[in-house]
Amino acid sequence: MAADIVNLRQARKQRDRKDREATAEANRVRYGRSKADRKLAEAREEIARRHLDGHRLADGDPAATSPAADTVTPGASGPDS
């Protein structure tokens, strides 16, 4: 009539793991997206990215578009000289 020895810490951790897994499964069902939904979202993001990239002013040298490039140095000959 000897009872099985149960480590309460391990039993608690095992119970908590099962609870977390059940919660995770419920969340996957509730918040999961279908493959078609993911593909649609990816396509929309790609279209938005291309649209935004199409409005870029210049590619390449960021110094060419910085305000410092528009300053005039004293004594430099410009187009009006």
pLDDT of amino acid 58: 75
pLDDT of amino acid 2: 75
Ranges of each domain in the chain: 9-52
Half-sphere exposure of 25 (CA within 13 A, CB side): 6
pLDDT along the chain (81 residues), means of 10: 88 98 94 92 96 84 57 62 53
pLDDT of amino acid 68: 57
Half-sphere exposure of 57 (CA within 13 A, CB side): 6
pLDDT of amino acid 80: 62
Task: Give φ, ψ of 59 to 5 degrees.
Answer: -100, 155
